[in-house]
Amino acid sequence: MMFTAQSRSTPLSSEIQHVQIIRRKKISQICRYKSCCKVKAVIQSGNDNKTVKDANFVEKSREESNRSLLSSGKGRNVKAVVTLRKKMKEKITDKIEDQWESLMNGIGRGIMIQLISQDIDPVTKSGKFAESYVRGWLSKPSDHPYIVEYAANFTVPHDFGHPGAIIITNLLDKEIHLVQIVIHGFNEGPVFFSVNTWIHSLKDNPESRIVFQNQAYLPSQTPAGIKDLRREDLLSIRGNGKGERKLHERIYDYDVYNDLGNPDKSEDLARPLVGGKEKPYPRRCRTGRGPTKTDPLAERRIEKPHPVYVPRDETFEEIKQNTFSAGRLKALLHNLVPLIAATLSSSDIPFTNFTDIDKLYKDGVVLNDDNDQQKNKFLSETLDKVFSVSKRLLKYEIPAIIRRDRFAWLRDNEFARQALAGVNPVNIELLREFPIVSKLDPAVYGPPDSAITWDLIEQELNGMSVEEAIQDKRLFMLDYHDVLLPFIGKMNTLPGRKAYASRTLFFYTSRGVLKPIIIELSLPPTPSSPRNKRIFSHGHDATNHWIWNLAKAHVCSNDAGIHQLVNHWLRTHACMEPYIIATHRHLSSMHPIYKLLHPHMRYTLEINALARQSLINGGGVIEACFSPGRYSMEISSAAYKSMWRFDMEALPADLIRRGMAVEDTSMPLGVKLVIEDYPYAADGLLIWSAIKEYVESYVEHYYSERNSVMSDVELQGWWNEIKNKGHPDKKNEPWWPKLVTKEDLSGILTTMIWIASGQHAAINFGQYPFGGYVPNRPTLMRKLIPHEDDPSYENFILHPEYTFLSSLATQLQATKVMAVQDTLSTHSADEEYMYQLHEIQSFSVNDHEVLKIFERFCAKLKEIEDTINQRNKDNRLKNRSGAGVPPYELLLPTSGPGVTCRGIPNSISI
């Protein structure tokens, strides 16, 4: 009964077949294996009375053999307590299946278990084994209403040895969720197999599942009796790279992003393949669906509500499904009702005044009853019946950015503060050279020099020269010129989209406050305007004040797009996916590094699959609501090509690269911040330091021997595959870290865990608190800034507020993106946070010294939370305290459910 997650129709790889044939030959030497096969035949043959009699005869013979073993004093009874999780919400069919499951388990025909020893059987040269069936007419209820327990009894010889693995065969007609198995009766005490995994039905997959006990082993330390099983389990997880994946499988493999477009539905929904020489990108999890009819290189899409394949154990647990479904429902309602309202009024209208925006939080979205009262009455009645609410249901919470001060977004100091303490604090950089020069081809994009001159800067420096400001590290910049200018021409051809490539200069004053001083907005050169750049500075008259606000809005729109497509999606979600795939393919669940990383991989493949289905796909929310539109993933690919480096994803390295920190050996992490009051960096370094210390202690525990990292075949295969298959478009880059020493390993793991936890938390959970108020952080702009000779300029002079608001997203676009940001900023009820790692890992690690490492780490995080809370009360730190200023809490370790703007989950789970 070898395990593989392949379906019956999918051929196994030759390597897997070879391993399984060898094991089958070994086990077939023992008659008990034959009895197991006959019992399988009973279940599969249904009404074959002869087979039933044969199976009963074999089982009786086995029971007699066990009694003989016990009576002779050569054996002992051991008991397996099997814990399963049932559905929280059950349909009638589920309840019927539960009763059938109880019946099958009652007669011993539901779940078969083979207990495998760590010791070698001298006959088979494999681990000794004993088999039994889950029995009991009724499951034993537990303290948890959705948890049930069954028992299986074994008789094993005294020389059986220590149990190392269990082979499970699910003979039921449906999959089961196995929480854990605990074996009682051995001298050393209970043996735990905490697995929390789905076990497929025999009818879906004829091969059994292998699970290992909680003890961690390096490959070279694997007990002899379970070595073959360790290898076989890994091979089966990799699959053979062929065929379409089935939802019950757990195959991990790689593919390019060729499933974002839907050319069969519309030419407008065709999208280029992302991943390869022309458009490099990290790889995603392979689903194996066939090609579209229109484009043989594009994979056929699965549209919602149908699920996209991810390996079975990567799917949301039911609590998460319920939370996410509620969020999706909220998004659906926020999308649907404004769409109907806009359709019925024959247009998608802009905000006309700030009262329109305020109504989203006070009154909610109200349907227009003027055109079709019957349709609106039907929709309102439907909402009343289904949700017990009125048609004013669609009401948004007041975002944190205006909860304390509704005018904060207008001020320059708040605009600058958010570059250091907002939802995207990872792009600001020190201005180290002047003049500012583009790296783009001047033959295509015009003169490379920026239009920002010495004189323009010095007018804003209060008597300081540019040289002094650069030398004193007082000038900073948000530079989106080179990453966006190649796409601006195409973006501006999209309906209702107008954008510039932007540069923004900031000056750090002697009072410790950052202020914006100059904004440069560029368009692609034209024959009549080869230097198509405009310069803006904050004016002291009404006209320049409104123009300056429009320029800031364009910068915020660019910042929102880069944040979402590069810093959020690419650098955390997309780049984490290959690490997760490689971890499952190359590191056994017994491997200590697998156990270390496992909490940091939870739900990521599922949320990424959902993003490909609804968010980053052609016509999805990102394209509909952000400036880059249909060119969004191409911009993300261009950023990956020009900017992404694994070694620079480490927080200290990134801060040094951007000039926001300098090397200083006297500091704890060897870096000193250029701006002390940089909340993201200051708090982030605390979290980074704690992760680093924790990982180093863990790695030292398992890799204390010299050359143990180099000799770990699973680990070396893991790192090689991350580079060569997970990031193949960058596999030859010289900056990839080597994996030779335990220091190398600690650095790599610290970076991965930081990305999955602190980094993602810092740039994700503030999306609605900062972006939920449209003027503060518009995700797209619909108009260019008027010139004095433009026909629209006169109207701007007469109605500057209307010009500003009508340049932002429409009401429909705004409500769409607000709904998505609200969902993405929400912690689910089953969120697992970093400060809970000791509790989480105690179920999977059986090593007191390692558990102490987790315990110290969690205690350190609690200390960090106290430190951050004290910082937020420090009146000297203007970026995190003051009148109307929200405290910086995005890197506080703890949080409750909902939109809290705080909390660090272990993994990228939303």
- 519 closest CA partner among 425, 418, 450: 450
Q: Which of 764, 776, 879, 906 is catalytic?
A: 764
Active site residue 760: yes
Can you list the positions of beta strands (E) in 110-247?
Answer: 111-120, 127-133, 135-141, 147-157, 163-170, 176-184, 191-199, 209-212
Q: Which of 168, 691, 840, 910 is catalytic?
A: 910
Active site residue 413: no
Residues 600 and 753 sit within 8 Å (Cβ to Cβ): yes
For residue 338, cis peptide bond before it (omega within 30 degrees of 0): no
Residues 725 and 749 sit within 8 Å (Cβ to Cβ): no
Residues 253 and 244 sit within 8 Å (Cβ to Cβ): no
CA 402 to chain centre: 28
Half-sphere exposure of 172 (CA within 13 A, CB side): 26
Q: Which of 554, 568, 600, 827 is catalytic?
A: 568
- 842 closest CA partner among 222, 180, 316: 180
Active site residue 764: yes
- 296 closest CA partner among 330, 327, 328, 261: 261
DSSP β-bridge partners for residue 686? none
Q: Give the C-alpha separation, 854 to 685, whole Å.
A: 19
Q: Give the C-alpha separation, 35 to 133, whole Å.
A: 12
- 578 closest CA partner among 413, 697, 752, 706: 752
Q: Which of 554, 573, 591, 727 is catalytic?
A: 573
H-type alpha helices, 427-480: 442-445, 454-458, 466-471
- 75 closest CA partner among 65, 85, 61: 65
C-alpha distances in Å from residue 42, one per residue of 50, 133, 316: 9, 14, 34
Active site residue 573: yes
Rounded (10°) CA dihedral 323, 328, 332, 333: 20
Rounded (10°) CA dihedral 476, 478, 480, 483: 70
CA 380 to chain centre: 36
**CA angle at 874 for the pair 870 and 879, rounded to the nearest 5°:** 110
Q: Which of 760, 763, 904, 906 is catalytic?
A: 760
Per DSSP, the three-state class of 357 is: helix
Per DSSP, the three-state class of 680 is: helix
- 516 closest CA partner among 416, 442, 409: 416
- 611 closest CA partner among 570, 559, 557, 563: 570
- 423 closest CA partner among 567, 616, 324: 567
Residues 808 and 351 sit within 8 Å (Cβ to Cβ): yes
Phi-psi category of 108—alpha, beta or left, where left has phi over 0 and alpha has psi -120 to 50?
A: left
Residues 180 and 75 sit within 8 Å (Cβ to Cβ): no
Active site residue 18: no
Q: Which residues are catalytic?
A: 568, 573, 760, 764, 910
